[in-house]
Structure 1
Amino acid sequence: MVKKILMICLGNICRSPIAEGVMIETIEQAGASAEWKVDSAAIGGWHVGNSPDHRAMKIMKNHNIDYKNKARQIKKDDFLQFDYIFGMDDENMDDLNRLAPANSKAKLLLLGDFGLEKSERIIEDPYYQRGDAGFEKAYQQCVVACAAFLKDATAGKV
């Protein structure tokens, strides 16, 4: 049975597309593409239909991740269709817990709780930062967290 992952951030143009791209790459490298489906979405609807921020696209391209999805907003059905929904920060998690219907099947998890030091577990929103450094840091955090999650999931720990 295919397991489904949904990456969430505030606008679905910075962190969650990077996390989606990294998770897909991590799964492909593990030879497990047939076992997983990955998507991303936003808490808010401001950027629906838009491509990710140009800096997020640049970072993904620099790391050979081909990304073509457009921003979308999370919907109630996502909580019933996805097995794992990951937030990038505590505000995302508060919003996800508030939005989740009572019959949600999804496990709501903070991506940074996997493989990252406690001081690095929040994947900060780089949108208002100048330059690419915040996007690169988010990418590097996602690389560690996605690999750690996949290892735990494969071992039946999640």
Structure 2
Amino acid sequence: MANMACESKKSALFVCLGNICRSVMAEQILRELVEEKGTSDQWKIDSAATATYNIGNTPYDLTNETLTKHNSKPSSHKARQISTQDFYDFHYIFGFDDDNMRQLKKRKPKESTCELILLGDLDTDKSTNTIIDPYPGPIEAFETAYEQCYRCCKVFLSQAQ
């Protein structure tokens, strides 16, 4: 299998447990940051889950409520599980906590050249490198996760350009 992502676009995949909160938020944040820079045509951005139980579900209500509060578009993403092909199709695959990273490392094929990154390692607030799982709430947890994702995506984009 070829590393398809290397052929044309930069690519980032955000992977959390269920793909209805953190990964969707980070996907939308990065998508809008590259739009602001006028470079969206140079990027492939997506999100996925390590678990299967939310496949096909739309983002959790508080995810879109938080995005909207920050003048972002609500996401219409449908949750999906990470696939083996993703490890070939994306340059960067981000996890949000130690469990996500364990799952990603276990699933990554040996010949894949994608880079696995704990998103929180990019946070300018060094108090933790775990992006909190805000599910099921309260809204303040979603606000914290949004702020963490935003800071990390800004740093990532500044380094990836």
Quote the offset at 1:62 in angstroms: 1.5
- Residue pair 1:81, 1:105 contacting (<8 A) in 2 also: no
Paired position in structure 1 for 2:25: 18
Q: TM-score, normalised to structure 1's length?
A: 0.92
Quote the offset at 1:74 in angstroms: 0.3
More moved, 110-119 vs 141-150: 110-119
Paired position in structure 2 for 1:59: 66
Unpaired runs of 5+ in structure 2? 1-7
Quote the offset at 1:15 in angstroms: 0.4
- Residue pair 1:115, 1:149 contacting (<8 A) in 2 also: no
Q: Kindly indicate whether residue 145 of structure 2 is the aligned counterpart of residue 111 of structure 1.
A: no
Runs of 4 or more above 4 Å deviation? none
Q: Kindly indicate whether residue 77 of structure 2 is the aligned counterpart of residue 74 of structure 1.
A: no
Cα-to-partner distance string for 1:57-109 (whole Å, 9 max, x where unaligned): 11112122221111000010000111100001111111100010111121000
Quote the offset at 1:118 in angstroms: 2.8
Cα-to-partner distance string for 1:21-71 (whole Å, 9 max, x where unaligned): 011111111221111110000000100000011111111121222211110
Distance across 2 between alignment mates of 1:128 and 1:41: 18
- Residue pair 1:41, 1:72 contacting (<8 A) in 2 also: yes
Equivalent in 88, 94, 111 of residue 96 of structure 2: 88
Paired position in structure 1 for 2:160: 153
Give the CA RMSD over aligned residues. 1.1
Distance across 2 between alignment mates of 1:29 and 1:94: 33
Quote the offset at 1:13 in angstroms: 0.6
Unpaired runs of 5+ in structure 1? none
| Number of aligned residue pairs | 153
Partner SS state of residue 135, structure 1: helix
Quote the offset at 1:134 in angstroms: 0.7
Paired position in structure 1 for 2:110: 102
The letter of the residue matching 2:131 is I
The letter of the residue matching 2:32 is E
Identity of aligned residues (%): 44
